[in-house]
Amino acid sequence: MTPSARFLRALSPLLTMFLLVAPAGCLPVPPECRSPDVICVGLVTDTNGLQDYGLNEQAWQVLEQLRQDDIVVDVIESIDMRDYDKNVAYFGDQGYDLVFTSGYGLVETTRTMAEKYPDVSFVMLGQAPDEKDSPPNLAGVIFPEEQAGFWAGALAAHFSEMRIVGGVFANFEIPSVGAYARGFESGAQGVDVHIISYEYGSFEASLGDPEWGARQAEFLEDLGADVLFAYGGSTGISALEQARGRVIGVEVDFARRFPSMQNRLIASIVFDLSILKEIVYAGKVSQPTYEATYQVIWGNTPAPEVLASPERLPLDDADLTEDGAFEEGDNEDVDSQDDEPEEDDTGNEEDGDE
């Protein structure tokens, strides 16, 4: 086994231990995946591995259940981005029927491998292929982010005692960020909603500015917000960590990933990847995109009966505007507490309040 990935299979504990320490070239004999009587499924994660408390872990939990149906299910946890190609190619070389890849960084690799292995179905989690210029054996699983944002808004409105809630987001031009924000504002009915987004700098900068996120959480709470929702890399996570009141997270099981939030966490809205079973049982992809759903994992806040499950939330699509725009009402965007970063004499950006 190469040092760049971890390869796991349902084996005896002794053999599993051997796999984790075996040198290159010592992988066990692969299954007869080219046999029509054997279904083989592989998962390649990004460098976050299976302990990301999010997409990778949730995908593996679903796929691992398929072993009960005598389906071969294996995973390679990537340790270095430079090894994405060979990690995905391993499953192609062994004739696996389906290969799932998790993480934006694997998009180009997955497309390349789909062209190289036309008899293998490849599925990108969280990404949609270009329907006009993609091989027929390539598909993507996408998520209704706006609906998840709506759930977050409905929960925030229900639990807010001050009737003021807030949201901190990375750049709205990032599709998933904008979708979560639109849904949140539409779902938070009957309360004042204050939204702050990172509107300057690059998309990457908006996802990686924890100091800015923390300041916005403090700013919103000074305005009276007692429930916060945030999304956008370390920027959003920092906002939730800084908050003193209740918080709602998305995509990650925040109670497990961030134990310090447990006492303040209303819920984590995480992926429901049950659709992966349907894809596997079909044996191959038959359409360019599949839509998964979300599920609510409650935090330590007792859930009222009316919100006992996502299905009982007021999630009718009619509650959203036709074009996905923000609903008219008490909701409003507010300026962040920071001025736009200024450039110092060296050309580096500095926050205006520092």
Residues 162-186 have pLDDT tens digits of 999 999 999 999 999 999 999 999 9
Domain with CATH 3.40.50.2300 in the chain: 5-142, 145-263+300-340
pLDDT tens-digit series, residues 70-115:
999 999 999 999 999 999 999 999 999 999 999 989 999 999 999 9
> What 3 state SS string does 50-98 have?
CCCCCHHHHHHHHHHHHHHHCCEEEEEEECCHHHHHHHHHHHHHCCCCE
Out of 7-11, 97-101, 148-152, 293-297, least confident range? 7-11
Query: For 284, how many CA atoms within 13 A lie in the half-sphere containing its CB?
Result: 11
Topology (CATH level 3) of domain 145-263+300-340: Rossmann fold (3.40.50)
Place of tokens 């979708």: 179
Helix pair angle (233-242, 210-222), 10° resolution: 40
Q: Which tens digit of pLDDT belongs to each residue from 50-60?
A: 999 999 999 99
| Residue 163 DSSP class | S
User: 5-142 adopts what CATH topology?
Assistant: Rossmann fold (3.40.50)
Alpha carbon distance 120, 106 (integer Å): 16
Return the residue matching tokens 């920092």. 238
From the CB of residue 144, how many other CB atoms can be counted at a distance below 10 Å?
Answer: 16
pLDDT digits (tens, 9 = 90+) for 186-219: 999 999 999 999 998 889 899 999 999 999 999 9
Please say whether the beta carbons of 123 and 141 come within 8 A.
yes
Note the pTM of the prediction, 2 decimals: 0.80
